[in-house]
């Protein structure tokens, strides 16, 4: 039985807590901490048998019974909390991104490598655990499409964030496309060598005024010579639209969106299927459970997680390369970052 503490009791912290309670039988949540914990959340936590409900996360760090922490606090604290957890000898599941600064992530990485105890460090790129993307990756890994020659990732949110969030988001590449940049690496099994990113403001002028874009297209060159494109939008009126394709010497694998049901209605208006699931938590709920289950397995069995600190680091480099490429309107090599 692995004992865990959860740091941050907001939406994603609660999602992970419920995943562990219902789907990870060999983990037990000993404590949850949040300086701004809502009373209803505290009450709920106690009702499901979580012993420690704290304001101060250091109580978790100091509890020797706790083997692992899930860092679900706000992004700016991820790196600092990681360092504390490493110092306390806890295994770490850290929500993405670890940080927007490469230097800070490398500091965490160095601390991790210097730790006398071998620690699991997993980053919350949940999409790698989604049933559809995982099945695509499996087909590629098993050689079903031969050598990878081209990858495409399309990614559209159902609604743009509020403009006030945009200005603190780190920009669309860092805030949203980071998942899709990671998907290109995951699906292809290849590193990105160079990229060229374009952006436009087509959805909401307020996003442009806040200095960001809402529509992007990225061209990537991979280590084996293959090419890739990513396209993204902050707003697809028909729902959360997340699709990909990997093409190779022996074939091609694609996925589609998930819907609430698969019924099809034929009327004078056409032959109509349901729209994609709207809300990311609904669409990716299974992946949140799967990633936490893997985290516990990695601790228990000494395995490497599917998404380690290096993946967290590279994804940030790619997002920064995109921003630089768009700003300078030229292709940027990743080793420039």
For a copy of itself, give the closer residue by CB, 118 or 329. 329
Site membership for a copy of itself, residue 254 (CB under 8 A): yes
- Residues 125-164, one symbol each (x = binds a copy of itself by CB under 8 A, - = not), give ------xx-xxx--x----xx-x-xx-x-x-x--------
Integer angstrom CA distances of residue 288 from 12, 45, 130, 324: 9, 19, 8, 31
Q: Among residues 77, 231, 297, 337, which is the contact residue for a copy of itself, using CB under 8 A?
A: 231
* From 262, 301, 302, 335, residue interacting with a copy of itself (rule: CB under 8 A): 262
**269 touches a copy of itself (CB under 8 A):** yes
In contact, 195 and 323? CB cutoff 8 Å: no
Q: In angstroms, what is the minimal distance from the CB of 209 to a copy of itself?
A: 15
According to DSSP, the β-strands at 52-54 and 68-71 are unpaired
Q: Which of 51, 80, 83, 275 binds a copy of itself (CB under 8 A)?
A: 275
**Number of chain positions touching a copy of itself (CB under 8 A):** 76
Task: Using the rule CB under 8 A, give the single segment among 77-85, 116-124, 170-178, 269-277 that binds a copy of itself.
Answer: 269-277
Task: Considering only residues 204 through 223, tell me which ones interact with a copy of itself, judged by CB under 8 A.
Answer: 215-219, 221
Inter-axis angle of helices 11-23 and 280-301, nearest 10: 60
Among 256, 282, 303, 336, binds a copy of itself (CB under 8 A): 256
Q: How far apart, in whole angstroms, are the C-alpha atoms of residue 321 and residue 337? A: 7
Tell me if 319 sits within 8 A of 174, measured CB to CB: yes
Which long-range contacts does 111-117 make (Cβ < 8 Å, 24+ apart)?
111/82, 111/83, 111/86, 111/87, 112/86, 112/309, 115/86, 115/89, 117/89
- 221, 230, 283, 19: CA torsion to nearest 10: 40
Minimum distance of a copy of itself from residue 329's CB (angstroms): 6
Give the whole-angstrom CA distance, residue 239 versus residue 145: 30
Smallest distance, Å, CB 236 to a copy of itself?
7
Figure out which of the listed residues 93, 173, 247, 284 binds a copy of itself, where binding follows CB under 8 A: 247
Q: Site for a copy of itself (CB under 8 A): which residue of 89, 107, 159, 196?
A: 196
Query: Helix 78-87 vs helix 102-114: angle between axes, to the nearest 10 degrees?
Result: 10
Q: Tokens 């899709």 sit at which residue?
A: 180
Query: Per CB under 8 A, does 270 bind a copy of itself?
Result: yes
The pattern of x and - marking residues 8 through 47 that bind a copy of itself according to CB under 8 A reads -------------xxx------------------------
* Footprint of a copy of itself on 67-126 (CB under 8 A): none
- Cis amide prior to 225 (ω within 30 degrees): no
Window of 79-87, 92-100, 104-112, 199-207 that interacts with a copy of itself by CB under 8 A: 199-207
Q: What does the radius of gyration of the chain's CA atoms come to, in whole angstroms? A: 20
């Amino acid at each position: 039985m692995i004992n865990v503490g959860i740091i941050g009791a907001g939406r994603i912290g609660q999602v992970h807590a419920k995943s562990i309670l219902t789907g990870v039988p060999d983990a037990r949540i000993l404590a949850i901490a949040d300086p701004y914990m809502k009373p209803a959340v505290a009450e709920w936590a106690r009702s499901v048998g979580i012993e420690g409900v704290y304001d101060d996360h250091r109580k978790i760090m100091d509890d020797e019974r706790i083997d692992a922490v899930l860092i679900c606090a706000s992004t700016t604290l991820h790196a600092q909390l990681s360092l504390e957890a490493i110092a306390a000898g806890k295994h770490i599941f850290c929500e993405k991104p670890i940080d927007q600064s490469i230097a800070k992530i490398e500091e965490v990485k160095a601390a991790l490598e210097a730790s006398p105890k071998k620690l699991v460090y997993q980053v919350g790129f949940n999409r790698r655990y989604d049933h559809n993307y995982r099945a695509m990756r499996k087909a590629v890994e098993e050689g079903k499409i031969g050598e990878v020659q081209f990858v495409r990732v399309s990614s559209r949110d159902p609604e743009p964030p509020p403009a006030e969030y945009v200005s603190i988001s780190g920009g669309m590449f860092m805030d949203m496309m980071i998942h899709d940049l990671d998907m290109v690496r995951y699906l292809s099994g290849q590193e990105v060598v160079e990229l060229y990113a374009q952006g436009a403001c087509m959805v909401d002028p307020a996003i442009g005024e806040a200095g960001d874009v809402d529509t992007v297209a990225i061209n990537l060159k991979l280590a084996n010579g293959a090419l890739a494109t990513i396209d993204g939008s902050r707003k697809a009126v028909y729902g959360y639209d997340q699709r990909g394709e990997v093409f190779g010497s022996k074939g091609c694998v694609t996925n589609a969106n998930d819907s609430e049901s698969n019924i099809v209605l034929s009327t004078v208006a056409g032959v109509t299927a349901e729209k994609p699931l709207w809300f990311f938590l609904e669409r990716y709920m299974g992946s949140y459970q799967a990633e936490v289950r893997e985290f516990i397995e990695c601790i228990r069995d000494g395995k490497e997680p599917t998404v380690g600190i290096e993946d967290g680091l590279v994804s940030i480099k790619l997002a920064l390369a995109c921003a630089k490429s768009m700003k300078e309107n030229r292709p940027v090599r990743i080793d420039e970052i």
